[in-house]
Amino acid sequence: MNNKIQAVLDLFAELNKVPRQSKHEEKISKWLVEWAEKHGLKAERDESMNVLIHAPATPGYENKPTVVIQGHMDMVCEKIAGSNHDFSKDPIKCIVDGEWLKADGTTLGADDGIALAMGMLLATDKDVVHPPLELLFTIDEETGLTGANTLKPGWLKGKILLNIDTEDEGVFTIGCAGGRDTKIEMSYTPAEIPAAYKVYDLRVWGLYGGHSGVDINLPRGNSNIIAARFLDEFLRNAKMQIVCINGGSAHNAIPRETNVRFASDKDITAQFNALKEKIFGEIGYAETGMKIDLTPAENKGLKGLSLEDSKKFTGIMMAMPHGVAAMSKDIEGLPETSNNFATIKTTENTVAILSSQRSSVESRLDWLSRKIEGIAVAAGAKTATSDGYPSWEPNMESALNKKCVEIYTKLFGNAPKVEIIHAGLECGIIGSKNEGMDMVSFGPTIKNPHTPDERLEIATVGKVWDFCVELLKELSL
**pLDDT higher than 70, residue 343:** yes
- Written as one letter, the residue type at 204 is V
Q: How far apart are CA 445 and CA 3, in angstroms?
A: 19
Using one digit for the tens of pLDDT, what is the confidence trace for 351-382? Answer: 999 999 999 999 999 999 999 999 999 999 99
| Segment 110-122 mean pLDDT | 98
Nearest to 209 by CA among 224, 200, 220: 220
Nearest to 101 by CA among 198, 191, 199, 13: 13
Using one digit for the tens of pLDDT, what is the confidence trace for 221-273? Answer: 999 999 999 999 999 999 999 999 999 998 989 999 999 999 999 999 999 99
Active site residue 86: no
Q: How far apart are CA 243 and CA 465, in angstroms?
A: 52
User: What domains can you pick out in the chain, each with its CATH number?
Assistant: 3-177+391-475 (3.40.630.10), 190-347 (3.30.70.360)
| Segment 138-147 mean pLDDT | 91
Using one digit for the tens of pLDDT, what is the confidence trace for 89-112? Answer: 999 999 999 999 999 999 999 999
Task: Tell if the pTM clears 0.85, that is, is over it.
Answer: no
E-assigned strand segments in 248-378: 258-264, 291-297, 303-304, 323-327, 335-346, 350-359
Listed range (56-70, 334-348, 418-432) with the worst mean pLDDT: 418-432
pLDDT confidence band for 330 (50 / 70 / 90): confident
Q: Give the pLDDT confidence score for residue 423 in this predicted structure.
A: 85
Q: Give the pLDDT confidence score for residue 233 in this predicted structure.
A: 98
Q: Give the pLDDT confidence score for residue 143 in this predicted structure.
A: 83
Residues 6+ apart with CB under 8 A from 296: 198, 199, 200, 201
Q: How far apart are CA 371 and CA 378, in angstroms?
A: 11
Q: Give the pLDDT confidence score for residue 331 in this predicted structure.
A: 85
| Segment 414-426 mean pLDDT | 92
- DSSP code of residue 195: T
**pLDDT higher than 80, residue 82:** yes
User: Out of 74, 134, 233, 453, which one is annotated catalytic?
Assistant: 74
Q: How many residues does the chain have?
A: 477
- Rounded to the nearest integer, the mean pLDDT of the chain is 96
Q: How far apart are CA 233 and CA 236, in angstroms?
A: 5
Q: How far apart are CA 203 and CA 6, in angstroms?
A: 41
**pLDDT higher than 80, residue 57:** yes
Residues 6+ apart with CB under 8 A from 305: 188, 190, 191, 241, 242, 243, 313, 351
- Environment class of 255 (CB within 10 Å of its CB; exposed 0-12, middle 13-18, buried 19+): buried
Q: How far apart are CA 365 and CA 380, in angstroms?
A: 23
Active site residue 336: no
- Percentage above 70 pLDDT, the chain: 100
How distant is the alpha carbon of residue 390 from its chain centre?
Answer: 16
Does the N-terminal peptide bond of residue 74 adopt cis geometry, omega within 30 degrees of 0?
no
User: Out of 25, 78, 140, 141, which one is annotated catalytic?
Assistant: 141
Q: Give the pLDDT confidence score for residue 1 in this predicted structure.
A: 67
